[in-house]
Structure 1
Amino acid sequence: MAFREPSTTQALLARAHSPTSAERIFSDKIQHRSIFLRPTSPPPQETARQARRKERERKEKKRKKALKPKPLSANQRRKLGLYKVPREGQQYATFVPLHQLWLGYVREILGSEVYTGGQGAAIKLSAADFHGAEIEVARSACTGRVGIKGIVIKDTRFTFEVITAKNTIKIVPKEGTMFRVEVPPPDAPQPAPDSDEAAAQTPTTKSLVFEILGDQFSVRPADRANRKFKQHFFRKI
């Protein structure tokens, strides 16, 4: 049996370690250790067929995106008059059903607080939508606005657009104006009284009346729903 001479690595290990340790280190860490020529394989080259397919998918995606209609900008909506009420539609009676819907909506969010009011009702009302509410100008820096009453058909950041009982649309700025809103409680079916004594015993329910400080409502309705109002002194009241 021919004797195999130790390699250079084994000779160097034998100089630093005992024969047993040198043999163990060589077999465990050097002899059976894998040598990677490159860490990863290169990605396969794209064939012409795959390139054509990828280009077709890109064009199809671009075509579908072009077919999808884009939303109109604010300037385009104004030019088209989407926010304008046509003259034939400026009728107070047309918006009365909208006001009835708003009453049902605000009664639902208030619940039992429609009878009691309080801070809880104020928090809910500050985040409510006022499209369809019937408001009245109670106080204003401009005395000519006092007494304007109508149904809100448009609530913007700085104004309330209302239609009055005289079928007239008026734009009321919120700045320096106090608005009054009345929410009657839901009607409870009651039998008609047979006498004056029975009528006197019939309980009367008062409407919930609250006032809105327009300066604090100078926020878009969508932003006001998530805004927290803080109580602080206001000099303009």
Structure 2
Amino acid sequence: MDARPKKDQPIAAVLLSRAHEPDEASKILTEKIQQRPLLLTRSSPPPSDARAARRRAQEKKKQQRRKALKPKPLSASERRRLGLYDVPRRGQRYALFEPLHRLWLGYVREILGGEVHTGGEGAAAKLASADFHGAGVEVVRSGCVSRVGIEGIVVKDSKFAFEVVTKKDRLKLVPKEGTVFRFEVPVPVPVPVTMGGEEGQDGSEERTSNMVFEIHGEQFQFRSADRASRKFRSHFSKKL
């Protein structure tokens, strides 16, 4: 009998015939090799898209990592509950906000420019879009008489009210509606003088003059961030 493998015989059948009887080898080949189920998995992307697929997977992992590290922003109700908008009692000191007031004076002189000397509707339009955190204000007219005379530094410029720290280190909430506020801006004014007492040798020195502005709170019933894009419209308050 010729024991050499046939040319069309599978290599598995040849190997099994060497280790088992022909019937046993045929049974093993049929049941465990030819009829064995083959479980297929999802094929990988084509070689041309493999690099793009890896890049997308890496970007997705980075986004998930950033989302896990970035804290969720607090809602408005949560910020109010935590008291993030409140000025703590130990921080209600006038001396603590005096540096902020000096910074605000430089800021308001810069935005007013040359109109700090003349005032008028141009200055009013610029003041209507200004930020008043740090402004030194005084209530000169109000629908509520008890508020007249309140004076201090604005520590919170909200939509409907100013929160003011007075010189007595007390925090006052002053509604804007029906209230007129006054503030002063010191402006250097050149004054001609005679140098050395000799005729014909004139020079100049600077002295400070306070420019007084009055603003109607009803023109400022917007958040300071929203006022920057609003147009000024002059009108009179019927409540004063």
TM-score by length of 2: 0.67
Deviations 1:132-160 (A, max 9, x none): 00111111111111110110000000010
CA apart distance, 1:69: 2.6
Q: Match for residue 152 of structure 2?
A: 150
Q: 1:77 aligns with which of 73, 76, 79?
A: 79
Give 3-state SS (helix, strand or coil) of 2:173's partner: strand
Q: Distance in 2 between matches of 1:96 and 1:157?
A: 23
SS in 1 for 2:187: coil
Give secondary structure in 2 for the equivalent of 1:69. coil
Deviations 1:48-93 (A, max 9, x none): 9949735454334222222123332222222222222222221111
Residue in 2 that maps onto 1:46: 45
- TM superposition outliers: structure 1 runs of 4+ over 6 Å: 187-191
Query: C-alpha separation between the residues in 2 aligned to 1:187 and 1:70?
Result: 52
C-alpha contact 2:176 2:221 (8 A) present in aligned 1: yes
> What pairs up with 1:180-195 in 2 under 5 angstroms?
180-186=182-188
Where do 1:133-212 residues align within 5 Å? Answer: 133-186=135-188, 206-212=209-215
- Quick check: 2:124–2:232 contact (8 Å CA) kept in 1? no
Letter in 2 for 1:231: S
Task: Give the structure 1 partner of residue 111 of structure 2.
Answer: 109
5+ residue gaps, structure 2, are 1-43, 196-204
Amino acid at match of 2:45: E
- SS of the counterpart of 2:126? helix
More strand by share: 2
| Aligned counterparts of 1:96 and 1:189: Cα–Cα separation in 2 | 29
Q: Which amino acid aligns with 1:175?
A: E
Q: Distance in 1 between matches of 2:58 and 2:143?
A: 66
- For residues 6-17 of structure 1, the aligned pairs below 5 Å read none
- Whole-Å Cα distance in 1 between the matches of residues 232 and 127 of structure 2? 11
- The alignment yields a C-alpha RMSD, in angstroms, of 3.2
Q: Which amino acid aligns with 1:220?
A: R
Q: Which residue of 1 aligns with 2:231?
A: 228
State how far apart, in whole Å, the 1-side matches of 2:188 and 2:207 are.
12
Q: How far does residue 98 in structure 1 lie from its aligned partner after superposition?
A: 0.7
Larger radius of gyration: 2
Distance 1:234 1:86, change over 3 A: closer
Q: 1:109 to 1:55 in 2, by over 3 A?
A: closer
1: CA distance between counterparts of 2:236 and 2:116? 26
Q: Is the 8 A contact 2:135 2:183 kept in 1?
A: yes
**Length, aligned pairs only:** 187
Gaps of 5+ in 1: 1-44, 194-201
Letter in 1 for 2:127: L
Residue 205 of structure 1, CA deviation: 5.5
Q: Report the 3-state secondary structure (helix = DSSP H, G, I; strand = E; otherwise coil) of the residue aligned with 1:207.
A: strand
Contact 1:160 1:171 in 2 (8 A): yes
Q: Percent identity over the alignment?
A: 60
Alignment partner, residue 119 of structure 1:
121
Match of 1:152, SS? strand
Contact 1:182 1:208 survives alignment (8 Å): yes
Residue 115 of structure 1 contacts residue 207 of structure 1 at CA under 8 Å; is this kept in 2? no
Instruction: Work out whether residues 107 and 186 of structure 1, in 8 Å CA contact, stay in contact via their aligned partners in 2.
Output: no
CA distance in 2, matches of 1:115, 1:174: 26
TM-score (norm 1): 0.68
